[in-house]
Amino acid sequence: MTDVLRRGRASLTFGFLAQGVAFALLVTRIPAIQDRYGVSDALLPVFLAAVPILAGVGSVATERLVRRIRPRQLLRWSQPLVLLALLGVGAGDRLAGLAVALAAFGLAVGALDTSMNMLGVSLQRSYGRSIMLGFHAAYSFGGILGASLAWVGAHWDLALWVSYLPVVVVLLPAVLVGSRWYVDGDGTGGARTELPRKGEAAGVGFKALLPLCLVMTFAYIGDSTVSNWSAKYLQDVLGSSEQLATVPYNVYMVTTLVGRAVGDLGVRRFGAVAVVRGGAVVAAGGFAVVAAAPGEWVGMLGFTLLGLGLCVLVPQTFAAAGRLADERHGPGASDAAVARLNVFNYVGFLIGSPLVGALGDSWSYRGAMLVPMVLVLVTLVYARSFEAGPDRYGDGHERSRTADVGRGGNGV
């Protein structure tokens, strides 16, 4: 394996970590943001929904931009924009300023998420073995760091800009320096000798990607259920204390990190199909345990299982989309596949929380937990979509660990 690829992998891993920190700092300080700007409870959902919607717009725009600009260049400049937008959220004091900062954050996050996964996919192809889960493990670790920093800011009642400024001061130059070693996938810092032609970039049809789009949506419905409803569920349904109600999401994040940290080994040993099936079954079991839990500690076990199960689905969905694109349409098509698939990240995020809330209010929160359980189980129907061809890594057919420097595919 070339030093260029190793540096590219290390720098991209840090990029995932930095994004996890930034996103966690935003979403975990929403109450403080609401207080600072005087956002009403009625208006807050509008602001919260705008971020993933604009991120979807950014993802669609990235699909078009990569026909002319390399993904590593988009990532290099979108990541600083995310950090500056985060600082803008913390430093402003007017509602219009918040709207502009969140809009910038959403658009930049869409470009960042998409280009980041494009590079992860292309590096995985060059390595010839599963490394995608490791990148997402770094994101999870960054999320834990960001949430911890947010807790410190809330505990000491620090102004938002005081919490955000040191993080931006440290991460901004670090990601700019690290971006010098981003690699699109051929071991020289460029994905291919030529940028993809329009026909190549647009080669993957929605019909072919539909099973993976559904899996991505269902995975994020499950994830948003945990992030938005775990505390309320433990406190209001299972009767825990307010302090204990904060624990499930932390447990979920830690088990997500653990699962992703070892997940690549599982893919190399058992294949992507087996890992995805196992993850879906464990996640569904987690939702079932949460729905049937007689008390808070059993509920905590359920959220632990959810972290271990859901954590593998998203990275492997990106990986499967890239492989499919490369196999059917050749170099350049995988970038478009990643961009299109990434939109359903935000679709699931937008659907999950309102869906569970509406079902909880009209029916019961225990019953509401069964809906994401069923949706996650649908992944089993589409598990064969994650199968690798005989000349690809996974399913017992791992390629040699030498760099595939002559092929330009950016397969996820």
Q: Are residues 134 and 31 in the same domain?
A: yes
Find out whether 412 and 323 touch, Cβ atoms under 8 Å: yes
pLDDT, mean of residues 44-61: 93
Lowest mean per-residue pLDDT among 95-99, 238-242, 299-303, 343-347: 238-242
Q: Are residues 63 and 11 in the same domain?
A: yes
Mention every residue, 6+ apart, whose C-beta is less than 8 A from residue 134.
13, 260, 261, 264
Choice between 304 and 333, residue whose per-residue pLDDT is larger: 304
pLDDT in tens, 124-137: 989 989 999 999 99
- Domain at 76, CATH number: 1.20.1250.20
Q: Please identify, among 195, 227, 258, the residue that sits at the C-terminal boundary of a domain.
A: 195
Residue 184, SS3? coil
In a domain, residue 404? The reply is no
In a domain, residue 408? The reply is no
| Predicted pLDDT at 42 | 87
In a domain, residue 409? The reply is no
Longest dimension (CA), the chain: 61
Lowest mean per-residue pLDDT among 8-17, 32-41, 180-189, 366-375: 180-189
Q: Please identify, among 195, 217, 243, the residue that sits at the C-terminal boundary of a domain.
A: 195
Find out whether 21 and 167 touch, Cβ atoms under 8 Å: yes
Torsion angles phi and psi, residue 188, rounded to 5: -125, 5
pLDDT, mean of residues 366-384: 96
- Classify residue 92 by its DSSP letter: -
* Global model pTM greater than 0.75: yes
In this prediction, residue 106 has a pLDDT band, given cuts at 50, 70 and 90, of: very high
Q: Are residues 105 and 177 in the same domain?
A: yes
Mention every residue, 6+ apart, whose C-beta is less than 8 A from residue 65.
74, 111
In b/e form, how buried is each residue of 38-52, taking b as 16+ CB within 10 angstroms?
Answer: ebeeeeeeebbbebb
Q: Are residues 157 and 240 in the same domain?
A: no
Whether residue 292 has pLDDT greater than 80:
yes
| Predicted pLDDT at 21 | 95
Q: Are residues 125 and 208 in the same domain?
A: no
Task: Give the residue among 214, 206, 210, 220 at the shortest CA–CA distance from 63.
Answer: 206
Choice between 83 and 206, residue whose per-residue pLDDT is larger: 83
Say what percent of the chain tops pLDDT 90. Answer: 71
Q: Are residues 238 and 355 in the same domain?
A: yes
Task: Report CA torsion sign: 276, 279, 285, 289.
Answer: negative
pLDDT, mean of residues 380-393: 75
Q: Are residues 34 and 128 in the same domain?
A: yes
Q: Are residues 216 and 157 in the same domain?
A: no
Whether residue 197 has pLDDT greater than 60:
no
In this prediction, residue 185 has a pLDDT band, given cuts at 50, 70 and 90, of: low
Lowest mean per-residue pLDDT among 49-53, 80-84, 152-156: 152-156
Task: Give the residue among 188, 182, 323, 303 at the shortest CA–CA distance from 246.
Answer: 303
In b/e form, how buried is each residue of 326-364, taking b as 16+ CB within 10 angstroms?
Answer: bbebebbbbbbbbbbbbbbbbbbbbbbbebbbebbeeee
Q: Please identify, among 156, 171, 195, the residue that sits at the C-terminal boundary of a domain.
A: 195
Find out whether 387 and 116 touch, Cβ atoms under 8 Å: no
In a domain, residue 407? The reply is no
In this prediction, residue 411 has a pLDDT band, given cuts at 50, 70 and 90, of: very low
In this prediction, residue 211 has a pLDDT band, given cuts at 50, 70 and 90, of: very high
Mention every residue, 6+ apart, whose C-beta is less than 8 A from residue 64.
none
Beta strands in 211-325 (DSSP E): none
Q: What angle do CA 28, 120, 64 make, to 5 degrees?
A: 90
In a domain, residue 92? The reply is yes
Mean pLDDT (the chain) is 88
Q: Are residues 167 and 66 in the same domain?
A: yes
Amino acid found at 362: S
Q: Are residues 93 and 123 in the same domain?
A: yes
In a domain, residue 367? The reply is yes
Give the C-alpha separation, 32 to 37, whole Å. 9
Whether residue 70 has pLDDT greater than 80:
yes
Whether residue 201 has pLDDT greater than 90:
no
Q: Are residues 164 and 274 in the same domain?
A: no
Lowest mean per-residue pLDDT among 37-41, 78-82, 102-106: 37-41
pLDDT in tens, 257-289: 999 999 999 999 999 999 999 999 999 999 999
Find out whether 209 and 341 touch, Cβ atoms under 8 Å: yes
Say what percent of the chain tops pLDDT 70. Answer: 88
Domain that residue 115 falls in: 1-195
In a domain, residue 405? The reply is no
- Classify residue 106 by its DSSP letter: H
Beta carbons within 10 angstroms of residue 60's beta carbon: 16
In a domain, residue 411? The reply is no
Q: Are residues 41 and 114 in the same domain?
A: yes
| Predicted pLDDT at 203 | 55
Give the C-alpha separation, 321 to 305, whole Å. 26
pLDDT, mean of residues 374-393: 81
How many domains does one find in the chain? 2
In this prediction, residue 31 has a pLDDT band, given cuts at 50, 70 and 90, of: confident
